[in-house]
A and B are shown apart, each in its own frame.
Chain A
């Protein structure tokens, strides 16, 4: 099956800093999403982005499908950005596969 890697596994930032999270996947995909899981466990959809670039406020994402990677940019980070960021992909099947996640801590 498709493999998903995320880097870095852990990231500690000072409030106001910028960061880039990376997701690599091993095969072509028809669906790629970035999620933020908050401390209560809820998976919040950030972007549906199988290809191209999208922006939503301080967050933006780019997927280069031909090179099998996606990037999530967080600018001017806030303490509320803390949590785990997951990349998940689907390659024309019905199994939406999650990467191992990046655990982000934003310090005040």
Chain B
């Protein structure tokens, strides 16, 4: 298995809803990442998990809450989002922190906040 799988592919949520994005990989990678991509912009890093521990939080608002229950799974819990949070959310993994052997990205969750 050489893939990063993200679910759901599309999500529409209201500003008072609570939802979660899920990311899974079975490549034995020990670092996992969340990126946010707005339209016509490059992806921007949100969080880094190294060996299941949060190692980087790029000043992301607390309405985004990451969780890494095990080495294969990464979640992003969403609560009280704003319309400007609508974006493509990408998950990535790398064999080791620092991505020496490269990063593998999932196909993303396209989130719309109404």
Contacts and interface: CB of A to CB of B under 8 A. Distances in A.
A83 to B, nearest CB: 13
A43 B98 contact: no
B107 A42 contact: yes
Interface string A65-94: 000000000000000000000101010111
A31 B55 CA distance: 19
Contacts, number: 62
A31 B50 contact: no
A31 B100 contact: yes
Interface string A32-52: 010100001111010010000
Given A99-B42, A101-B42, A94 B102 contact: no
A98 interface: yes
Interface of A: 30-31, 33, 35, 40-43, 45, 48, 86, 88, 90, 92-101
How many B residues touch the partner, as a band?
Answer: 20 to 34
The secondary structure that dominates the B interface is strand
A88 B90 CA distance: 15
Contacts of B48: 94-95
Given A41-B90, A43-B43, 7 more contacts: A31-B99, A33-B102, A41-B108, A90-B98, A94-B99, A96-B92, A97-B45
A94 B98 contact: yes
B105 interface: yes
B81 interface: no
28 contacts: A30-B100, A31-B102, A31-B103, A33-B103, A40-B107, A41-B37, A41-B88, A42-B105, A42-B107, A43-B90, A43-B108, A45-B103, A45-B104, A45-B105, A48-B102, A88-B103, A90-B98, A90-B99, A94-B31, A94-B50, A94-B56, A94-B98, A94-B99, A95-B56, A95-B58, A96-B45, A96-B92, A100-B41
